Amino acid sequence: MSNTVIAPSILAADFARLAESAGAVEGSADWLHVDVMDYHFVPNLTIGLPVVQSLRKATTLPFDCHLMIADPARWATQYAEAGAYNVTFHAEAATDPVAIAKDLRKAGSRAGLAIDRDTPVEGYLELLPHFDLLLIMTIKAGFGGQAFIPELLDKVRTARRHVDAGHLELRIEVDGGVADDTIAACAEAGADTFVAGTAVFGAEDPAAAVRRLRALANG
């Protein structure tokens, strides 16, 4: 059975119809990726805890919450308590990432560490045993619809080598510009988890787009 996870990002959905958009990919997607932005860590504002709490009641899809917020130590566990399956926060915003990971697991979610475009992965490899997921941005965090940056796949290759050598149980997720023409390269580099916003919710048939992405990732 394939290990591939496809996580459509509702950042590219119609914010007045979030429940409908989630429903459109139930049955085809594995997780729903929820981008939380706070106008501080990134120059954009999206959705926060109340929307996550309401949406949690509207879909059966597990939530993959990607916190692009300045103070994850303060807020991250609340997303776990709201029922998120994964809560991923940015390494650049955390003074003690391992402490936050422990709090998240205690609060009932899985813990994810994200690294933005300009952050090298090497400094975080030793922390990975404390995490369930490593999110490697393939754009600069902040906005959907940006062009994929292929050079960033070197970080995926480095992380994959480390994870395999250490037999770590960790998903490697790519986020940003993942689409029909880029997903195979992400999979070849070693990603097993794929966020796609525009490629799914910008498509006429989001469920078909998810199925196509999965087939391309699986080669």
Ligand X SMILES: O=C(CO)[C@@H](O)[C@H](O)COP(=O)(O)O
Cβ–Cβ under 8 Å, residues 84 and 109: yes
Distances (CA, A) of 22 to 83, 133, 136: 16, 22, 24
Q: What secondary structure letter does DSSP report for 64?
A: E
Task: Compute φ and ψ for 145, nearest 5 degrees.
Answer: 75, 15
Residue 88, strand partner residues: 66, 112
User: Per-residue string for binding with ligand X, 66-95, x by CB under 6 A?
Assistant: x-----------------------------
- Give the 3-state secondary structure percentages of the chain, helix then strand then coil, rounded to 5: 40, 20, 35
- Is 35 one of the catalytic residues? yes
**Whose CB is nearest to ligand X?**
197
| Active-site residue, from 35, 64, 103, 192 | 35
Out of 103, 132, 173, 175, point to the residue binding ligand X (CB under 6 A).
175
Q: Which residues are annotated as a binding site for substrate?
A: 9, 66, 142-145, 175-177
90 binds Fe ion (CB under 5 A): no
Residue 181 annotated to the active site: no
Of residues 168 and 202, the one with the C-beta less far from ligand X: 202
Q: List the beta bridge partners of residue 114.
A: 90, 135
Return the closest-CA partner of residue 144 out of 6, 8, 18, 23: 8
Considering only 89-97, 123-131, 144-152, 168-176, which stretch makes contact with Fe ion by CB under 5 A?
A: 168-176
39-54: string of b/e by CB count within 10 Å (b at 16+)?
eebbeeebbbeebbee
Q: Which does 178 bind (CB under 5 to 8 A by kind): ligand X, Fe ion, none?
A: ligand X
Catalytic residue among 103, 116, 175, 192: 175
Distance CA 142, CA 193 (A): 20
From the list 55, 66, 173, 183, which residue makes contact with Fe ion (rule: CB under 5 A)? Answer: 66
Identified binder of ligand X from the candidate list 178, 187, 203, 216, rule CB under 6 A: 178
Interface with ligand X, residue 192, by CB under 6 A: no
Q: Does 186 bind ligand X (CB under 6 A)?
A: no
Residue whose tokens read 């997921």: 133
Is 30 one of the binding residues for Fe ion (CB under 5 A)?
no
Binding residues vs ligand X (CB under 6 A): 9, 11-12, 33, 35, 66, 139, 141-146, 175-178, 195-199
**Residues designated as active site:** 35, 175
